[in-house]
Chain A
Amino acid sequence: MPITLTRPGRRVVRRQATIWALRLALLLAVLGAWRYANTAGEVSPLILPQLSAVTDSFTQLVGSSHTWQQAGITVLEMLAAFTIAAVGGLLCGFLLSRGPVIARTAEPLLAWGYMFPLALLYPLFLLWVGVGMGSKIAYAAVGAFFPITYNTIRGLRSVDAKYLQVGRAFGASSLQVDFNIKFGAARPMILAGLRIGSSIVTIFVVLAELLGSQKGLGHEIEQASSRLMIADSYATVLLLILITIVLQRVMERLLRAKHE
């Protein structure tokens, strides 16, 4: 990529300004509608609390060690589930990709596993594994395992023949072909699988905490809603969203290759 060292031109600046103006307009519209609903629209504060109540509640949450404890549990569950799914999925994908028959056998099964509405199994999961952290981790890891494995197999099996030819021409061993060529070429597909997997992990962990749990931010949201502490509920949702955005950003950083 050519790197331009000149300062951004006037037009670029003007464009950026327009973009931010548009975003600001949306934000104001939302806040305005919120305000209106609180006052003239007479939407019950049990549905939509005062904006100020939410911000107050948010500051309070951020200052409390209890919140961060719960957040720590949620994050830990997410990281553990993702690590298990990623390691297991990459390993299985790698092994399953090594023979044409076994790969063809596994591909549809994994695709079905991904399409399967796993959410329906959660009540059963609770029966089998209990309500502790383990069940959340296991559940989310199972959900993420399928797309990660599937994409790994697909990626490894659709490597451009011209790269494999170079390997053969220079006498690469089969391990060298795997690590220097196939994994390199399959990288985009594998990363896509990991991204899908990570988003499934966050969804499933939060869902599991909402559905049946005594810990974690999802549980906090559930508690606040059922006790009608609506402002807390909104504030916790906001916090959870911010945390997952940070997690995703960190992951993107880690996964990005130098050549991209």
Chain B
Amino acid sequence: MSLLTVDNLTVKYGVDTKDELLACHEIDLTIEGGEFVTIIGPSGCGKSTLLHTMGGLISPTDGAVRFDGVPVTKPNPRNAAFVFQDYSLFPWKSVEENAGMGLRFAGASKAEAMSQAKTQLEFVGLKDFGERYPRALSGGMQQRVAIARALALEPKLLLMDEPFGALDEQTRRNLGTDLSRILGEAGQAVVMITHSLDEAIFWADRIVVMSARPGRIAEEITVETPRPRQLEFMTTKRFQDLRVHLFEQLEVHQRDAAERDASSSAAVV
């Protein structure tokens, strides 16, 4: 059985108000155990909405999300744990407390949370920073803490919303290489939203391309090259072809969105 299935999912914001907005439209998607799926699509197309619904932060307007066959009604971090784009570490808690906070929230004892936090911080290479506070850490380090916080729950699935979005190119690369080791060892399935074509291809077993709002799945592309991959993969023909293809796809969807916005605003005027 698949790990997670998204079945004919529709999500609207502000139902029955004049601001009603269709964010995701009739989406079908399955995630297998241990699989790495990247989601890419134009800005505002509903990627975050989809991810949040997969994790139970938003309830579907129509359709269903199932984890191990059971409908998801609220977040269950031991199944699927979030890593947010802006890290969302609590500035008033030490790094170690932050890393253990997810477990504490999920109901673990303090002792258990702290010992897991230590283990995971060591795993992400921040063993010596447990006593510090987030503001003393660089962006890349903070994101590792956020990853440690999620890994501490030993979830079967990690949901990552542009986890490297706020980082510079160099840090992204380094953290990316580290992460491939970390996730390779931990063996989780991952769904990761990204705006970077390179990241989307390099990481993925499967790439999900979404169309402009209302978000639908425009295409799913399987990348057969086995993981973990070496950086050389980026120089292969297969990679370059995929990149060109994705680029064109996104262009098309972006233009659709622009045209639709232009015509709808014309209609309003």
Q: Which residues of A contact B (CB under 8 A)?
A: 1, 162-163, 165-173, 176, 180-181, 184-185, 187, 257-259
Complex Cα distance, B82 from A105, in Å, reads 36
Give the contact stretch, choosing among B3-11, B103-111, B115-123, B259-267.
Answer: B103-111
Tell whether, in the assembled complex, residue A180 and residue B136 are in contact, meaning their CB atoms are under 8 Å apart.
Answer: no
B107 contact set on A, CB distance < 8 A: 171, 173
Interface size on B, residues (CB 8 A): 29
**Complex Cα–Cα for A257 and B135 (A):** 13
A180 close to B57 (CB less than 8 A): no
B86, A162: Cβ atoms closer than 8 Å: yes
Q: Complex: how many Å from CA A165 to CA B88?
A: 9
Ordered by A's residue number, 28 sampled pairs between the chains whose C-beta atoms are within 8 Å are A162-B86, A163-B90, A165-B88, A166-B82, A166-B84, A166-B88, A166-B101, A168-B57, A169-B55, A169-B77, A170-B75, A170-B102, A170-B149, A171-B74, A171-B76, A171-B107, A173-B105, A176-B104, A180-B93, A180-B101, A180-B105, A181-B90, A184-B90, A184-B91, A187-B92, A259-B91, A259-B92, A259-B134
**Does residue B81 face the partner (Cβ distance < 8 Å to A)?**
yes
- Contacting residues, chain B, for A181 (C-beta < 8 A): 90
Residues of A within 8 A of B74 (CB): 171
Main secondary structure of the interface of A (DSSP, over half): helix
The residue among A162, A172, A173 with the most chain B CB atoms within 10 A of its own CB is: A172
**Chain B contacts with A in 163-206, Cβ cutoff 8 A:** none
Question: In the assembled complex, which residues on chain A have CB atoms less than 8 Å from the CB atom of B92?
Answer: 184-185, 187, 257, 259
Q: A162-B86, A162-B88, A180-B104 are in contact. Are A169 and B133 (CB under 8 A)?
A: no
Distance in angstroms between the alpha carbons of A214 and B25 in the assembled complex: 77
In the complex the two chains form, what is the Cα distance from A148 to B111 in whole Å?
34
